[in-house]
Amino acid sequence: MLYSVNQQKNRFKVLFITISGFISANQTLNVRKFQLTELYACVKFTGMNFTRSLIPFLNEDLAQKMIFIGGPRQVGKTTLAKTFLNSDQQYFNWDDLKDRTLIKSHQIDPNLEIVVLDEIHKYTRWRMLLKGLYDKYKKDLSILVTGSARLDTLRKGGDSLFGRYRYFRLHPFSLHEIDKDCSREGTLSLLKFGGFPEPFLSQSERRFRLWVRERTSRVIYQDLRDLDLIKDLSKMELLIDTLPGKVGSILSINSLKEDLEVSPNTISNWLNISEAVYYSFRIIPFGGPKIRAVKKSNKLYLWNWAEIENRGARFENFVASQLLYYCHFHEDVNGYSMELRFIRDTNLREIDFVVLKNKKPIFAVECKTGDQKISSHLKYFSERLPIPKLFQVHLGEKEWKDGNISVQKWETFWKNRVEELKAE
């Protein structure tokens, strides 16, 4: 079984990570070593330090339950899981016939101590299979389960695995995960190439464009096909092509209906499916009658913010993604009920984001690309809503404070949020 983080430190256990899977075939890259520290596990690559903040918490929970790792395609789920392994014999892929036979017949060697089961959800009765494996080996074997978007969808059906696993969502790289100092250089690199490992590590615009085309194709023609929810995938491809231009404004179902010539119900269903395969996510408004808040509007953002051409919309989507990461971290690690919403009233006054913890707002964020004067909308809502902290974040240099409103560089704001990413 795995040890606690402190025990790992005392034993000086060194883990290994291979990032060759993120690099094109004609590149040569040595496997790097990295050591589990109290907070992060790091791997050095081209002079920079990369971390996955979830590693200590995965390590801690593995001693008690199975771990499911979900998240977008190509976000690094399998690579993260493999960091806990010492040999290839501990990795089992359902697509491999030999591995499949061992899994189905419950012939996994308990002396392996920890195993990764990849793509096991492709088996019709995978829940019962996992239940049997866990009940048989739980005293001797730690189990990590990874897979596509279908894993997240299917795990919600039935309760045969209740109490036997912990679910964590892996996000694209966040700023502190690629640069512990949260520098402007790191922000600009993430804005340019996104946070998915392959295009980010390549630092190549050409490879980024090729990767986007390949990922979009796989999401539509593999993930959607696996879910078997859409018959006409070509129409879904048109929707995917349209969504990047909708970021940063109120999402109009009627506009999409007219563009694609389908019913509003069909558009709503397609948007739900787009979220199920981790292509996009939506947030809803916050507020009540006191501020005459809008009720039915949505705002949409992409998991890969680098697909967005407009500079302001891309920065807003980037901030939305980092705040969603913040919410998911506290849900998956600490069990809080977290929500990411926005504020908008019927007079079109708006704050980009508000983060709720157990139904109560804890801070709000307005995004600006420059260090401009404080938004009048921030001041208006600060006087009418019980939000303890309000921030205006930007890509400029100036910082100042006016009452409970702080104007900060994005990097300053996020560095302070990182200090809150801990077990509570």
Residue ranges per domain, the chain? 5-169, 175-418
Euclidean distance between CA atoms 342 and 286, whole angstroms: 6
Contact 350, 285 (CB under 8 A): no
Q: Give me the half-sphere count of Cα atoms (radius 13 Å) on the Cβ side of residue 132.
A: 11
Query: What are the φ and ψ backbone dihedral angles of 292, each rounded to 5 degrees?
Result: 50, 55
pLDDT of residue 150: 67
pLDDT of residue 108: 95
pLDDT of residue 49: 62
pLDDT of residue 157: 60
Phi-psi map region of 163: left, alpha, beta (phi>0 left; psi -120 to 50 alpha): left
Euclidean distance between CA atoms 152 and 281, whole angstroms: 15
Give the CA angle between residues 168, 301, 356 to the nearest 5°.
60
Domain 5-169: CATH architecture, name and number where available: 3-Layer(aba) Sandwich (3.40)
| DSSP code of residue 345 | B
* Tens-place pLDDT, residues 328-357: 999 999 999 999 999 999 999 999 999 999
Compute mean pLDDT per 10 residues along the chain, 424 residues long, and list them.
36 29 31 29 46 93 93 94 95 96 94 95 89 93 86 67 92 96 96 97 96 90 70 81 93 90 90 91 90 92 97 97 98 97 96 97 95 92 95 96 96 98 94
What residue spans of 12-117 are helical by DSSP H? Answer: 55-62, 77-82, 97-104
Exposure of 232 by Cβ count < 10 A (0-12 exposed, 13-18 middle, 19+ buried)?
Answer: exposed
Counting every residue written for the chain, the total comes to 424
pLDDT of residue 15: 30
Q: Give me the half-sphere count of Cα atoms (radius 13 Å) on the Cβ side of residue 376.
A: 2
Tokens standing for residue 278: 């981790």
DSSP letters along 248-312, please?
TSB--HHHHHHHHT--HHHHHHHHHHHHHTTSEEEEEEE--GGGTB-SS--EEEESSGGG--SHH
Contact 393, 366 (CB under 8 A): yes
Report the DSSP pairing between strands 14-17 and 32-35. Answer: antiparallel
Query: 0.95 exceeded by the pTM?
Result: no
pLDDT of residue 242: 93
pLDDT of residue 122: 86
Q: What is the rounded end-to-end Cα distance, in angstroms, of the chain?
A: 24
